[in-house]
Chain A
Amino acid sequence: MPKVTVDGVEIEVPNGYTVLQACEEAGKEIPRFCYHERLSIAGNCRMCLVEIEKMPKPVASCGQPVGEGMVIHTDSEKVRQARRGVMEFLLINHPLDCPICDQGGECDLQDEAVGYGRDHTRYEGSKRAVNDKYLGPLVKTVMTRCIHCTRCVRFMAEVAGVPELGAVQRGEHMEITNYVERGLSSELSGNIIDLCPVGALTSKPYAFTARTWELRKTDSIDVFDAVGTNIRIDARGAEVLRVLPRLNDAVNEEWLADKGRFSIDGLKRRRLDRPWLREDGKLRPASWDEAFAAIAGRIKGLDGSRIGAIAGNLCDAESMMALKDLMGALGSANLDCRQDGATFDVSNRAFYRFNTTIEGIDEADALLIVGANPREEAPVLNARLRRRWVETPGFVAGLVGAPADLTYDHEHLGHGGDALKALLDPAHHFTKRLAAAKRPMMIVGSQAFARADAAAVLASCWQIALQTGMLTAEWQGFNVLHNAAARMGALELGFLPGDKGKDIAGMMGGGVDVLWLLGADEFDMSRIGADTFVIYQGHHGDRGAARADVILPGAAYTEKPGTYVNTEGRAQRALRAIFPPGEAREDWAILRAASGALGRPLPYDDLDALRARMIESYPVLGEIGVLRRLGHGGGAAPRGDSGSVSDAPFGRAFATYYQTDPISRASQTMAKCIEEIILPRQIAAE
């Protein structure tokens, strides 16, 4: 542990620290453009110059390792002079277009120029101008503003694993480009907008929309996958204008997937902003009272077993709790949250959680993926897997399921159950490699449970995990990767068929007379019996609303406070950024009002009371943000018969990453992504 002196303060820092990190440790701020904690060191902006005694020249602190007894000055006259010089060079070719630049107000260059910039330029030559590049429908470029920090290049190559950006030409002619003028094909491409220290890369859909100081910032949770990415919703008035990631090292570090960032324009389209009632086969606008009266009229006298409820993929735990209570009050045990028809063994939480935890990925040294494509189902988590692969020599990965480009090398072991059965043999070459690893992990996609032999799949996977040392007291390497934000919350709440209750298949085809869909759009509506009375409560006029007899307009995730449980089982709370449009209301409140109209009022009148009741019944949902990481606690293996897995291949969870739910289907930006990113590649492949 070398001791260094930073501006007269002696501190001790770990070996291998850079001078910049040491200065930060000492509480000194070092300006930087190219350096970023989560990317490799480039050292090309030269803004982080510091003075180190006994060194003849100022040193770029980002790339200089600390040495014993270094005496560092971060704020001497020499340092300030050097940084001013660097800044002057950076600004030579940087246009003075801050007033029309989207980065204005949150621009590193602007901020640092206040400290180190001159009040005028001494440069009289002509500035260079660079053609803008086409990087797809998400990232807008103004390349003349680029200062060549190469953060975007490094991000795409190192974190996203899609090395489509690079620096071509050299010297004065250097340009950042993808060369081929095709949209970036990464699901994490939006992050280069955050990384860009200037306004060269900005958000295309957000262009010229707002200034950062006009925005109201609300902490929330992303609902477009089950990672539980921490986000900040920036709104102005009644409009959500953009979504940015928040820092959370345990979950998303500082990344956010493109669907969560860019599908927010879908929140303004196809919205249900008033109740609707179907009369003579046609939907007509109605009042809340009429809607509730219609529901009460239909449910009156109906036995509880003829009523069912299905919760969708974007629901918060509170609304599902309220719906579950309502169904309980009506005497119904017909609940389901698994629109894809998946079957989970809920006898043990370890059977349906991401037990290793997302942070735990950083310890794994072997990986088996079964029936999942983490790149599409959880892009941020996949970036973590990729980093582990990059950093760990000898990291092996295998995939059973649909072939996919995961951005890291992996062995494709087969498509379906036959490959899984083969892995049960300890002599299988991949099983041997897993067994040889110190901390092997397995990720089973929720898609792998959406088949008739789900119990057998679980049993086989569990047995492979047992055989290969994934289940020890210190290390729990068995993981289920969900792809719906609501799924874990629903499972924790037990939003599942109760005693003698029907599951989703049982409710189809006239299995129930009244079906309450809480934002459920992801199954084939034609399976619902023709005579079934469908109540759709949700925020988008999507598949469910099209089939509904009564539509109750609810709130989208930005419009209600809610608890979401991510695939690890980590409960996180989102806050309300804006109010729901028109007559739409928060979902729990709709259910509370409906319960009154049905003559079975729920025992809470505000969200706090609902939460208190929820947490009392399900304490896990009250442990906000914390997650106890557990080893394998022994216990029984799942009940299924591992030998009876059918050979059928595992399917893909989504047809396309960009449109998976009512919000992203309503989003024009996501439609453009398909048009400009997916289709050209499909055509090129053919």
Chain B
Amino acid sequence: MNDMTEPAFSFDDTSEALIPAIIAKYPEGKQASAVMPLLDLAQRQMARQTGHAWVPRAAMDAIARRLSMPSMRVYEVATFYTMYHTKPVGRYHLQVCTTTPCWLRGSDEVMEACRKAAEADGETFSIEEVECLGCCVNAPVVQVNDDVYEDLDGPRTEDLLDRLRAGDVPPPGSMIGRQNSAPEGGPTTLFNVGGGKQEGGAE
């Protein structure tokens, strides 16, 4: 019985302000459909209040009461989806992609750097190996909480983690200054495009 370690939970004012709007999205009598957004809301509230984005059981019970559904049904949803954390995670939850493109581009080193950081300081960093995050062009990538950091390698990852540890959160995206998913080091095609007239193909 883990009741002792489970923190208490109640929705704070910020969350409360959002709940009616969320529930109103669903038809009358189908308010249980709001369970997923409310779980997300609870997880974000936990991040706000404690720094750790997870859903304690008390939060699931609170959601069950709010939506008049059995607690068990909330537990089922929360454990089914990997984006809800039913155990505490670090202040920065690192989701390291190890799918083929990232792996080919050196995700092993990224993983190693993250693992070291998580082992050294579980309070700050927690680590999760995930499948494709959809940023293959800028592989390898790591998702930190809500944001994806791209074009990493071992040293750059360590640098990123150092900055996170120091509370200096860099802007998400490429870590080598690449613009979106444009080619590394600047454009390689369409050099003659200008003056508003576009011609097809490279010269």
Residues of A within 8 A of B (CB): 157, 163-170, 178-182
Per the bound structure, the CA–CA distance linking A170 and B73 in Å amounts to: 14
Chain B residues within an 8 Å CB radius of A169: 79-80
Asked whether any CB of chain A lies closer than 8 Å to the CB of B75, the reply is yes
Asked whether any CB of chain A lies closer than 8 Å to the CB of B52, the reply is no
Among B1, B2, B76, which residue has its beta carbon within 8 angstroms of that of A168?
B76
Chain B residues within an 8 Å CB radius of A180: 57, 71
The answer to whether A157 touches B70 (Cβ under 8 A) is yes
Known contacts A163-B70, A169-B80, A179-B72, then 12 further A-B pairs from the complex at CB < 8 Å, ordered by chain A residue: A164-B72, A165-B72, A166-B72, A166-B76, A168-B76, A168-B79, A168-B80, A169-B79, A170-B79, A178-B72, A179-B57, A179-B71
Q: Which residue of the partner chain B has the closest CB to A182? A: B1
B148 to chain A, nearest CB (A): 24
A408 to chain B, nearest CB (A): 14
Per the bound structure, the CA–CA distance linking A164 and B73 in Å amounts to: 9
- 3 shortest interchain CB distances as A-B pairs: A163-B70, A168-B79, A166-B72
Q: Which residue of the partner chain A has the closest CB to B6? A: A180
The answer to whether A163 touches B1 (Cβ under 8 A) is no
**A-contact 0/1 string along B137-150, CB 8 Å cutoff:** 00000000000000
Q: Which residue of the partner chain A has the closest CB to B78? A: A168
The answer to whether A170 touches B80 (Cβ under 8 A) is yes
Residues of B within 8 A of A (CB): 1-2, 57, 70-73, 75-76, 79-80
Chain A residues within an 8 Å CB radius of B75: 166, 168, 179
The answer to whether B76 touches A167 (Cβ under 8 A) is yes
Among A163, A170, A181, which residue has its beta carbon within 8 angstroms of that of B72?
A163
A139 to chain B, nearest CB (A): 16
Per the bound structure, the CA–CA distance linking A166 and B75 in Å amounts to: 8
Main secondary structure of the interface of A (DSSP, over half): loop
Per the bound structure, the CA–CA distance linking A178 and B1 in Å amounts to: 12
The answer to whether B76 touches A163 (Cβ under 8 A) is no
Chain B residues within an 8 Å CB radius of A178: 72
Q: Given contacts A157-B70, A163-B70, is CB(A181)–CB(B76) below 8 Å?
A: no
A590 to chain B, nearest CB (A): 49
Chain A residues within an 8 Å CB radius of B76: 166-168
Q: Which residue of the partner chain B has the closest CB to A134? A: B1
Counting chain B CB atoms within 10 Å of each CB, the highest count among A165, A166, A169 belongs to A166
Per the bound structure, the CA–CA distance linking A157 and B1 in Å amounts to: 23
The answer to whether B1 touches A166 (Cβ under 8 A) is no
The answer to whether B73 touches A166 (Cβ under 8 A) is yes
B35 to chain A, nearest CB (A): 13
Q: Which residue of the partner chain B has the closest CB to A181? A: B1
A493 to chain B, nearest CB (A): 45
Q: Which residue of the partner chain B has the closest CB to A169? A: B79
Chain B residues within an 8 Å CB radius of A166: 72-73, 75-76
B106 to chain A, nearest CB (A): 29
Chain B residues within an 8 Å CB radius of A179: 57, 71-72, 75
B130 to chain A, nearest CB (A): 15
A-B contact pairs, 23 of them (CB 8 A): A163-B70, A163-B73, A164-B70, A164-B72, A165-B72, A166-B72, A166-B73, A166-B75, A166-B76, A167-B76, A168-B75, A168-B76, A168-B80, A169-B79, A169-B80, A170-B79, A178-B72, A179-B57, A179-B71, A179-B75, A180-B57, A181-B2, A182-B1
Chain A residues within an 8 Å CB radius of B79: 168-170
Chain A residues within an 8 Å CB radius of B73: 163, 166
Chain B residues within an 8 Å CB radius of A165: 72
Chain A residues within an 8 Å CB radius of B80: 168-170
Chain B residues within an 8 Å CB radius of A181: 1-2
